[in-house]
Amino acid sequence: MTQQPIRIAVVGHTNAGKTSLLRTLTRRIGFGEVSQRPGTTRHVESVDLDVNGEAAVRFFDTPGLEDAVALREHLAGFDAQATPPDRIRQFLQGPEAHGVFEQEAKVLRTMLDIDAAFLVIDVREPVLPKFRDEIELLNSCARPVLPVLNFVRDAASREPAWKELLSAYGLHVQVRFDAAAPFVGAEQDLYNDLATLLRERRDLLHGVVDALADEAVQRRQSACTRIAALLIDAAAVRRTVSSTEFADAARRQALVAALQKAVFDKAQRCTDDLLALYGFRQGDADEAPLPMIEGRWTLDFFSPEAMKDAGLRLGKGAVIGAAVGVVADLAVAGISLGAGAALGGAIGGAVSQGWGPLGRKLANKLRDVHELTVEDGVLFTLVAWQLKLTQALEQRGHAATQRIAAESPEDGDSPTRAAAAAVRGAQPARNHPEWESTGIATRSFWRPSPPREALVAELSQTLLRAFEAP
């Protein structure tokens, strides 16, 4: 028999971050509306957290409590002999529940029909008397209440004062959770602490904790697989250029620009996929969770500054170097232009790639054909930044509005080492231009070959090392 989902009301004062918390917990980027306007949520909305294809937890996003002080005074006129839940029920049957206290009535009606509640508190708020009335109203419903202390990392946090107030009303079990930048393991703590309040549902809640841990592992693996596919895709890029075209400066510049755009588009599609994988989207109109889209989103992987930085790090920390082969090709903004006489080929040439590319280079020399490929430094920059983005998304909640730090990977840190190892491992792709997933328009029927997919799987395991402790 299928278990009924645990019903959780998410309650609290207006603009405490209730909807943002739910988006973070469920990774439903389109759920509800998030805004700085007070009282954005006007109706009770539900969203499920699924485990193994079934709803394990059903959350109810409720409107903010707007006038708990007046409602407490109103309830004081009800039968003093009635229990607090009975007085709430009497109030809900009266006309005020559909009038002046309509928003509060929606919250209290939900509270009487759930298993427990998350009381979301913006700890940046001063501890005012109205919050005491809100807590008393919620306690009157006789349901377990778990306070969720939100925005605890903010410099304006008044966390100690809030903890004291909550303890004074018997709410000693509290969870620290930052909807802008959740703590590692904060979700697990949330459900483990809830299990202490709902002992009869603790097996299901422990199952939720285990499922969340599995999903995090799968999400990270999927991210690394996607980045590995980008790396193979970019490494396989090869465009041939006739001697006549190569000699024409304007034509050569146009070809290089076209190749740069093709690689940039591949990187941006990868970024889109990572954002979606972690429950974000570009240009979310309801909130501004990703202002990093400005600037860093359009990172120029071919800029001299980026390439200089990547070259230094590849040479020192990652020990790859920008010219591994016998002779390095003429490099223009990160694009390797392989002249027929340059036996080194595209970054590494015969030394790092074997006789296949060398044979191709010799054939091109006879045909007087040049090749455009992507430098290892560009590949490193692509991969290292996508890894840093993934690390940032793992620590980002849906209440975040700050820019994701545009820091470069530090020399020798985990992303740098993993990216460098992956670039080395991706060299076989240079001898397989058919591994590029896009390019020639007639290749719409393209399907990845088993050898390509095997290399993607291998490199994804290499990239996972970026998430190991340094």
Please tell me the distance from the alpha carbon of residue 446 to that of residue 440, in angstroms, as a whole number.
10
| 97 C-beta neighbours (distance < 10 Å), count | 19
Are the beta carbons of 329 and 339 closer than 8 angstroms? yes
User: Among candidates 338, 359, 386, 385, which has minimal Cα distance to 237?
Assistant: 338
- pLDDT score recorded for residue 107: 93
In sequence order, the 6+-apart residues with CB closer than 8 A to the CB of 91 are: 71, 74, 75, 78, 97, 101, 105, 108
Q: Biggest alpha carbon distance in the chain?
A: 101
Q: Does domain 6-197 have CATH number 3.20.20.140?
A: no
Are the beta carbons of 399 and 151 closer than 8 angstroms? yes
What kind and span of H or E run contains 58?
strand 54-61
pTM of the model: 0.76
- pLDDT score recorded for residue 469: 64
Please tell me the distance from the alpha carbon of residue 85 to that of residue 220, in angstroms, as a whole number.
45
Please tell me the distance from the alpha carbon of residue 139 to that of residue 171, in angstroms, as a whole number.
10
Domain spans in the chain, listed from the N-terminal domain onward: 6-197, 219-467
Please tell me the distance from the alpha carbon of residue 212 to that of residue 199, in angstroms, as a whole number.
20
Are the beta carbons of 119 and 175 closer than 8 angstroms? no
Which 8-state DSSP code applies to residue 288? -
C-alpha separations of 10 from 35, 207, 268, 279, 394 in Å: 17, 21, 36, 20, 23
- pLDDT score recorded for residue 385: 82
Q: What is the 3-state secondary structure (H, E, C) of 163-208?
A: HHHHHHCCCCCCEECCCCCCCCCHHHHHHHHHHHHCHHHHHHHHHH
Give me the helices (H) in 289-354, please.
304-316, 349-353
User: Among candidates 157, 148, 253, which has minimal Cα distance to 193?
Assistant: 148
What residues are paired with 370 via a beta bridge?
A: 241
Task: Say how many residues make up the chain.
Answer: 470
What residues are paired with 465 via a beta bridge?
A: none
- pLDDT score recorded for residue 304: 56
- pLDDT score recorded for residue 400: 63
Strands 116-122 and 45-51: unpaired
CA 42 to chain centre: 28
Terminal Cα-to-Cα distance of the chain (whole angstroms): 46
User: Among candidates 335, 204, 171, 317, which has minimal Cα distance to 257?
Assistant: 335
Token pair 């974000």 is found at 280
Both structure tokens of 207: 């199952």
Which 8-state DSSP code applies to residue 467? G
Q: What is the 3-state secondary structure (H, E, C) of 2-36?
A: CCCCEEEEEEEECCCCHHHHHHHHHCCCCCCCCCC
In sequence order, the 6+-apart residues with CB closer than 8 A to the CB of 84 are: 139, 140, 141, 142
User: Among candidates 188, 180, 183, which has minimal Cα distance to 156?
Assistant: 180
What kind and span of H or E run contains 148?
strand 145-150
Are the beta carbons of 87 and 78 closer than 8 angstroms? yes
In a 10 Å sphere around its CB, with 0-12 CB exposed, 13-18 middle and 19+ buried, how is residue 405 labelled?
exposed
User: Among candidates 138, 400, 409, which has minimal Cα distance to 280?
Assistant: 400
Q: pLDDT means per 10 residues in the chain (470 residues)?
A: 85 82 74 43 78 88 87 88 93 91 92 95 91 93 94 90 95 84 77 91 90 90 97 89 79 82 86 84 42 43 55 42 30 42 30 40 54 81 85 74 52 77 92 78 68 97 86
